[in-house]
Amino acid sequence: MAQITIKQDAAIRQMVDEVSSKNIEATIRKLVSFKTRHTLSDTTSKTTGIGAARNWIKAEYEKYAADSHGRMTVQFDTFTQPKKIRVDRPVKLKNVLAILKGTDPKDTRVYIVSGHYDSRMSDIMDPNGDEPGANDDASGTAVSLEIARVMAKRSFPATIIFMAVAGEEQGLDGSEHVAKRAKSEKWNVDAMLNNDIVGNTHGMETDLKDNRSVRVFSEGVPTLAAGNEREIASLISLGGENDSPSRELARYTKETAERYVDQLDVKLIYRRDRYLRGGDHVSFLQQGFTAVRITEMNEDFTRQHQTIRTENGVNYGDLPDYVDFNYVQKVARMNLSVLANLASAPAEPQDVGVITSGLTNRTQLKWDAPANGKKPAGYYVLMRESISPYWEKKFYVTDNKADLAYSKDNYFFAVQSVDADGHESLPVYPKPVK
Ligand SMILES: [Zn+2]
């Protein structure tokens, strides 16, 4: 392995250290205590059902917001989900959003971290059974809550939204509503991290145990490019199908999280989600935003979407005793390091292009500084071989252009902004320009 220099920002390191597995465990056990968080479950009881659960989540965020000097505000994102498959009557759904406003009024970027707080059992239409949903997805909800607690006390130039959504099991209903709202209200969502099923470290039938590896799923061809002939033609001709914005976010997540979290191995899965399955990041991809899914390495399907029971000596059910809280802590730290680094960084360079006016064996790139927010100290031009999954070299430049003795025919490039403390923006894959 090539030698790698790890340079940590002390402030981010401190926040990473503050993420507590004890708090995560308490949150997951509390969410389980509501007995069911099924989207169609009771909303009037103070102790059971999705109504009690969402009120508790909101109150918890409000506690953290008290430490934010007024920068964090908490809201229900409420809407009526019409009747459809898996929703047998119109039902009022409430996502919970804790918004930590950025300190730079000119910086409009928004970063979102999300988990779904609804749960289910074997029968997707049964709202009343014991549906603990400890791993799916109290674990992801606990990630959003715990890092909100730590980050509320800090300030960042860009805005971060800590989200717990409903209706995932019924068909991504809650996330679809937020994503469409973000689009229509023109939120400048730069990246969305979806944490769903992030707490189990044991692979069922394979008997694999792994508390180091975490999967990050990212799409290759952007969801929105489907049906756009010009975009598809460009991807085919330039070979950009491995450089969607979401894939750049996935690579960034690996690079940043492994910089801050010990004994963490981020596995990039070059696929939108698991085989034939989906999650809340897809709602954001469908609106044209950059998003990835974070999930444990090995899944235990006796613990997902299962009614609690014993059958042929096998115990079924998504119970908290099977969640590895230290592992969820690692995942939370991973999310925090990525969000903190992004929200501290300058925005991406604009109009990044490869100059194609002459045929040469070199690569000339040019770009503009980000229009708003803090000025970059410089830029990294990232480079990799066409068959490599990760960026391999980076060139630091302080100008808005680079001229490299490597051919654009043989390598892939991207450009990211960086500030004086080393916080990098997401990399931007260039377009051909004259
Ligand atoms: Zn889930």
DSSP 334-396: HHHHHHHHHHHSPPPPEEEEEE-SS--SSEEEEEE--SSSSPPSEEEEEEEETT-SS--EEEE
| 355 strand-pairing partners | 433
For ligand 1, the distance from its centroid to the CA atom of residue 134, given in whole angstroms, is: 10
**Distance of CA 217 from the midpoint of ligand 1 (Å):** 14
347-375 mean pLDDT: 96
Tell me: pLDDT of 2 over 90: no
Q: What is the mean pLDDT of residues 291-310?
A: 94
| DSSP strands (E only) in 47-108 | 72-81, 91-100
197 Cα to the center of ligand 1, angstroms: 6
Output the pLDDT for position 358.
85
Q: Is the predicted pLDDT of residue 1 greater than 70, yes or no?
A: no
DSSP label at 107? -
**Distance (Å) from CA 278 to ligand 1 centroid:** 9
* d(CA 316, ligand 1 centre) in Å: 16
Query: From the CA of 106, how far away is ligand 1's center (Å)?
Result: 36
pLDDT of residue 207: 80
- What confidence tens digit (pLDDT) does each residue in 82-123 have? 999 999 999 999 999 999 999 999 999 999 999 999 999 999
138 CA → ligand 1 middle, Å = 9
The tokens describing 107, both together, are: 């910086």
Question: What distance in Å separates the CA atoms of residue 21 and residue 237, rounded to the nearest whole number?
Answer: 48
**For 370-403, how does the pLDDT look when each residue is reduced to its tens digit (9 = 90+)?**
999 999 999 999 999 999 999 999 999 999 999 9
Q: How far apart are CA 168 and CA 142, in angstroms?
A: 16
Residues recorded for the chain: 434
Q: What is the pTM of this model?
A: 0.97
Tens of pLDDT, residue by residue over 212-235, are 999 999 999 999 998 899 999 999
Res 205 pLDDT > 80: no
Distance 128 CA to ligand 1 centre (A): 18
Buried b (16+ CB within 10 A) or exposed e, 121-138: beebeebebebbbbbbbb
Pairwise CA distance, residues 194 & 144, whole Å: 10
User: Mind listing the pLDDT tens digit for each residue in 23-74?
Assistant: 999 999 999 999 999 999 999 999 999 999 999 999 999 999 999 999 999 9
How many angstroms does the Cα of residue 132 sit away from the middle of ligand 1? 12
> Which pLDDT score, from 0 to 100, does residue 115 have?
98
Average pLDDT over residues 1-9: 82
Q: How far is the CA of 271 from the centre of ligand 1 (A)?
A: 17
Centre of ligand 1 from the C-alpha of residue 348, in Å: 31
Q: From ligand 1's centre to the CA of 179, what distance in Å?
A: 17
For residue 410, report the distance from its CA to the centre of ligand 1, in Å: 40
Residue 399 exposure: Cα atoms within 13 Å on the Cβ side:
7
Dist. CA 256 → ligand 1 center (Å): 25
Segment 246-272 shows an average pLDDT of: 98
Nearest Cα residue to 334 out of 372, 297, 376: 297
Peptide bond into 137 cis (omega under 30): yes
Residues 6+ apart with CB under 8 A from 388: none
Quote the mean pLDDT of the chain: 96
Position 206 scores a pLDDT of 78
Q: How far is the CA of 172 from the centre of ligand 1 (A)?
A: 9
∠ Cα 333 337 339 (to 5°): 115
The yes-or-no verdict on residue 166 having pLDDT over 70 is yes
How much distance in Å is there from the Cα of 168 to the middle of ligand 1?
Answer: 7
Q: How far is the CA of 153 from the centre of ligand 1 (A)?
A: 29
- Give the Å distance between the CA of 157 and the centre of ligand 1: 31
Residue 366 has pLDDT above 60, yes or no: yes
For residue 139, the tally of other CB atoms under 10 A from its CB is 32
